Structure 1
Amino acid sequence: MKDFAECIAFLGQWGLFQQVVFFLLCASIMPNGFGAFTLVFLNDAPSHHCFIPDVNLTEEWQENIIPSKVVDGKREQSSCSRYRLDVVQNLSAQGFLPGRDVNLTELQQEGCVDGWSYSKDIYQSTIVSEFDLVCSEQWKQPFTSTVFFIGVLFGSFFSGQLSDRFGRKPVLFATMAVQTFFTFIQVFSVSWTMFTVLLFFNGLGQMSNFVGALVLGAETFTGNVRVLYSSLGTCLGFALGYMLLPLFAYFLRDWKSLLLVMSVPCLAYIPFWWFIPESPRWLLSQGRVEEAEAIVRKAAKWNKVQAPSVIFQGHSETKPGPKERASVLDLLRISHIRVMTLSLCFVSFTMTFGYYGLSFNTSRLHTNPYISCFFSAAVEVPAYISSWLALLYLPRRISVISTLLLGAVPLYFIQLVPPGHSNLSLALEMFGKYAITTGSSLMFAYIAELYPTVLRNTATGTCTTASRLGSCLAPILVELGTYFKFLPYITLGTMAIVAAFTALFLPESFGLPLPETMQQIHRRKRLKCPCLSGKETPKTAVFLDGPL
């Protein structure tokens, strides 16, 4: 029986069909980059202080009713307290002047009982100013981000299993619809609780369609086009959406307008349904040979080539047997697959923890959050190009270990930077993010190469779910950094070192085709990468794709 790549070799690797599917799938990922970091702006806290109602106060007392203190050489007003208004009114009426007749340090203070006044220098409104998520309610800021990523976690886990059962295409479009619908509905939130609940459901579709698009493309394309798509294509689509975010946020300074821009244009993706096909590999794994052949024949017409009378010779029109019906339990049932899965989960967790931790923290490194966000997004472009080149020419395991170590070193060095050299700290952090982003991009393709078709999306979804635990914890780690500046760097650097050691237990997939069955995974346990050993892959290993 011919493998998949041989069966469709007559199509070529880069005809009109592949080009259309390639760019449409990449375009479908752009909203993920746009939406993943929207909370950087939606959840940011503008400068604020206690609101002072219109009462009869002298100009001197109006200017001094908010307590102030010196922070890092600058005098800042208190955000959560003011001098007791009734006392100040009485002193003002008697003609006492602050600082001359009255020692301000001895005056009683009170909380912001009349609410807060928010600066509009940067934002017209955020959910923080809309729902007063400050002072005693400040814990809701990182918790909001965590709830979003918990939704991403659940979506990644269940979408993978649903995709393996019902197909890549329907789950891809269903998760895109979920993300678009709940982003739009959030505009009408009347409370923080309502916004957060809707944000959870928004998260269910946020990265699920990214994983669905990644696996669908990885199974549709062959050869170097598959590598190009799995690394550079999908990730550049994400990065482009990420870089557009600060641009739109700059011109739309209120949170509701930004959510509308995120959701309404996504209706343009509806026509994609008629151009993006189901994965032929998945159809073959389900015994639906005629449907797989119909897709390939359509591709042949688009590419203007002649299809053979029988394309998938040797594939029967029957459902796969019980052994080919893999489930999430197959990731843990067999010892070597269990070790591989647990190692991949931990490495993915560390990569994502570092990626989101540095992404959210980088936005605080510049006084202008729009510039900070753009720099954080722009550094991903060279990272994804590096990932693509590594996938083409370097072994996977060595690449992953190298990126983890390269990411850890600058994070440790940040602690040694003398005060006043903020640009050096920024450069080190951006280099750390560059390395971690490169590794994160590698992991998507690496995981997809290690598992068979019947288990690939479940495995990818499971590893992505584990990684999403890192994104859930990242906002909390960044918030703790306000109490100890170097805690995020020490934590992320140490975890990267441990993950690099864990990656030593992963198998190599460089130069090996995509496996199709569980039996091929068992055989691969004993295989060495032909590119490293100089030996050819044993003929007993029959896979469904050509070499990379």
Structure 2
Amino acid sequence: MAFAELLDQAGGVGLFQALQVFTVFLPSALVPLLMLVENFSAAVPSHRCWVPLLDNGTAQAGVPGALDPKDLLTVSIPPGPNREPHQCRRFRQPQWQLLDPNATAANWSEAATEPCVDGWVYDRSTFTSTVVSEWDLVCDRKGLKSMGQTIYMAGLLIGSVFWGILADRFGRKWILSWSCLQVALTNTSTIFASNFFIYCGLRFLGASGIAGIILTSMLSVVEWTTTRRRATTIAILSCSYSLGQMGLGALAFAVQDWRNLQMAISMPFFAIFLISWWLPESARWLIVTGKPEQGLQELHKVARINGHKEATKSLTIQVLMTSMKEEVASEKARGSLLELFLVPMLCRRSCIMFVTWMTADSFVQAGGRLGSVIGPLIRMTQPLLAPVVYGVLPIASSLILFFLPETRGFPLPDTMQDLENQKSAAAKGNQRQVVITESTSF
């Protein structure tokens, strides 16, 4: 908790925090575009089997009389469940008898049909090209689309854990910059994919990079924001995700080819990668990992940007080490991920957040990503399972949230002792409230 006091001495919230939020706002607004783009780039257009009579001009030479395309469709494609042309089967031979006004369903049988052995014809009036029409992810291959979504969500899941560990080891700035570059490279490369499986592999790498951006950008902003302004800052960043989601629909309406759409939302991350280099490393991370001199330099830089140049004199290495003594000692006695479960209070909070979402921030995000991985698979199973899972779990999660403590106005805990102190303070506050209530009940 001592770092919050150092941050106040460096000017609290000022111009630097505003510039930092604006910088992080850009990738945060674009991340939803990459996560949701397959709602448009992988849309399933109307389709039917390719048939010679309709789609091969030379095959129409033997057609009796002058028939319009509607009649040719009738004799070439059987009706589907909704009386529309079947999307996955065609007649082996033209069924001319169906042109008889008195023809009924008895005039043809399932044995007279076959799968779309020559491919499909797609309606390109809404989207000129999608991932589905590119690699024929329809009919017997329609499950590949859900598999691709599961692979993408698995990338988010693995990235949530992987980047969280690396951010603690190598710092927030490096991981944020690398994640932006990885997202730019992999998502741009998808437009050159020669088959669907290469496309899925690139999307997997891009998804893991997105997890790094979400994790490190939020973590960096929180560590550079005072307790009093933290809620406002997080609300601003949360709004950026909503703006990105709204902008995706408009962009997809204007760009109707999936490759051009993918390029439009991926290329900006090259610029974001370059812009991200101005961001300073987390001073708190530098201090607790044994780099107090660099941490002090970052604090001085922030103080100058915020217009508190006098802080460069009052904030010395002695003041810094005295204030952060407990946190540095805690880092030296650092445990493992198992401490999330070995410390009772931390275990309870971690489990509650894990269930609700379905560092330790990366672990909690992994709970949400695990739910995303399972989501497409649930839709492929029994129809009743999806509404039950999607309905029961949110209701149960809302009840579990009552067991989490209130954090408004509290600084971020830096050590296990801080958690215990918060518990003691909360207990004393409750006890004091009971005493006041009893003394005034007369």
Matched position secondary structure for 1:77: coil
Question: Structure 2: how far apart are the matches of 1:10 and 1:526?
Answer: 27
SS at 1:174 equivalent: helix
Give the structure with higher Rg (CA): 2
Shift, 1:531, TM fit: 8.1
CA shift at 1:326, angstroms? 3.9
Deviation of 1:266 after TM superposition, in Å, equals 1.8
2:29 matches 1:30: yes
Specify the alignment match of 2:364 in structure 1: 463
Select the residue among 159, 166, 169 that pairs with 1:165: 169
* Residue 220 (structure 2) pairs with residue 211 (structure 1): no
- Please state how far the C-alpha of 1:533 moved relative to its aligned partner: 7.1
SS in 2 for 1:528: helix
Shift of 1:174: 1.1
| Structure 1 segment 293-442 matched on structure 2, within 5 A | 293-305=296-308, 306-311=310-315, 313=319, 315=321, 320=329, 324-349=333-358
Structure 1 counterpart SS, 2:48: strand
Q: Report the CA distance shift for 1:335/1:96 in structure 2 as closer, same or farther (over 3 A).
A: closer
2:12 touches 2:226 (CA, 8 Å); kept in 1? yes
The 2-side partners of 1:78 and 1:27 are apart by 45
SS in 1 for 2:84: strand
SS of the counterpart of 2:188?
Answer: helix
TM-score, normalised by the number of residues in structure 2: 0.86
Cα gap change, 1:529 to 1:145, in 2 (>3 Å): farther
Counterpart amino acid of residue 338 in structure 1: C
Instruction: Give the corresponding residue for 1:279.
Output: 282
Deviation by residue 1:377-429 (Cα, 9 ceiling, x = unmatched): xxxxxxxxxxxxxxxxxxxxxxxxxxxxxxxxxxxxxxxxxxxxxxxxxxxxx
Write the letter of the residue equivalent to 1:303. Answer: N
Residue in 1 that maps onto 2:439: none
Q: Percent identity among equivalent residues?
A: 27
Normalised by the length of structure 1, the TM-score is 0.70
Q: 2:414 aligns with which of 498, 516, 537?
A: 516
Q: Distance in 2 between matches of 1:334 and 1:500?
A: 24
AA of the residue aligned to 1:251? A
Equivalent residue for 1:64? 75
SS at structure 1 position matched to 2:116: coil
Is 1:495 equivalent to 2:367 in the alignment?
A: no
Question: Which residue of structure 2 lines up, in the alignment, with residue 140 of structure 1?
Answer: 144
**CA displacement, residues 82-137 of structure 1 (integer Å, 9 cap, x when unaligned):** 1113xx2xx65xx8845547854336111101100000121111111000011110
Alignment map for 1:234-253 (pairs within 5 Å): 234-253=237-256
Following the alignment from structure 1 to structure 2, what is the Cα–Cα distance between the partners of residues 510 and 264? 39
Asked if structure 1 preserves the Cα contact closer than 8 Å seen for 2:154 and 2:369, the reply is yes
C-alpha distance in 1 between matches for 2:368 and 2:389? 16
CA contact (8 A) 1:286 1:320 kept: no
Per the alignment, in what secondary structure is the counterpart of residue 225 of structure 1?
Answer: helix
Supply the distance in 1 between the matched residues of 2:428 and 2:126 (Cα, whole angstroms): 56
- Mark the CA change 1:24 to 1:128 in structure 2 (over 3 Å): closer, same or farther: same
SS at structure 2 position matched to 1:110: strand
> How far 1:214 sits from its partner (Å)?
0.4
Q: Structure 1 residue 529: deviation in Å?
A: 7.7
Distance, in Å, in 2 between the alignment partners of 1:147 and 1:70 is 31
> What is the CA deviation profile of residues 430-487 of structure 1, one whole-angstrom value per residue up to 9, with x for unaligned ones?
xxxxxxxxxxxxxxxxxxxxxxxxxxx2x1001101110111122233455xx73x65
Aligned to 2:227: 223
- In structure 2, C-alpha distance between the alignment counterparts of 1:45 and 1:96, rounded to whole Å: 29
Contact 2:181 2:273 in 1 (8 A): no
Q: 1:507 aligns with which of 367, 389, 405?
A: 405
Contact 1:508 1:528 in 2 (8 A): no
Distance 2:165 2:140 in 1: 41
Query: How far apart in 1 are the matches of 2:153 and 2:394?
Result: 21
User: Equivalent residue of 1:82, what SS?
Assistant: strand
Contact (CA 8 Å) 2:152, 2:204: kept in 1 or not? yes
Bigger mean CA deviation after superposition, 50-59 or 109-118:
50-59
Give, in angstroms, the shift of residue 69 of structure 1: 4.1
Deviates more, 1:3-12 or 1:296-305: 3-12
- Post-superposition shift, 1:308? 4.7
CA distance in 1, matches of 2:292, 2:155: 36
For 1:339 and 1:470, how far apart are their aligned partners in 2? 20
| Cα drift, residue 334 of structure 1 | 2.4
Q: Which residue does 2:374 correspond to in 1?
A: 473
Matched residue, 1:116: 120
Structure 2 CA distance for partners of 1:67 and 1:283, relative to 1, 3 Å: same
| Matched residue type, 2:149 | S
Amino acid paired to 1:193: F
Q: Distance in 2 between matches of 1:274 and 1:201?
A: 22
CA-based RMSD of the aligned residues comes to 2.6
Q: Deviations over 1:61-97 (max 9, x none)?
A: 44332111453xxx32211001113xx2xx65xx884
Q: Structure 2: how far apart are the matches of 1:99 and 1:324?
A: 86
- The one-letter code matched in structure 2 to 1:199 is R
Q: 1:138 to 1:531 in 2, by over 3 A?
A: farther
Q: Is the 8 A contact 1:157 1:462 kept in 2?
A: yes
Q: Which amino acid aligns with 2:242?
A: A
Residues 314 and 115 of structure 1: CA distance in aligned 2, closer, same or farther (over 3 Å): closer
Shift of 1:11: 3.9
Matches of 1:96 and 1:7, distance apart in 2: 84
Unaligned regions of 5+ residues in structure 1, if any?
Answer: 350-456, 536-548
| CA distances 1:523-548 after superposition (whole Å, capped 9, x unpaired) | 3344428887776xxxxxxxxxxxxx
1:266 and 2:269 aligned: yes
2:88 corresponding residue in structure 1? 80
Instruction: Determine the C-alpha separation between the residues in 2 that align with 1:34 and 1:120.
Output: 22
Following superposition, the deviation at residue 501 of structure 1 comes to 3.1
* Per-residue deviation, residues 299-321 of structure 1 (Å, max 9, x unmatched): 22222222152426151699646
For the residues of structure 2 that align with 1:150 and 1:278, how far apart are their CA atoms? 29
1:464 partner amino acid: Q
Give distance in 2, aligned partners of 1:202 and 1:104: 52
How far off its partner does 1:186 sit?
0.5
Equivalent residues, number: 413
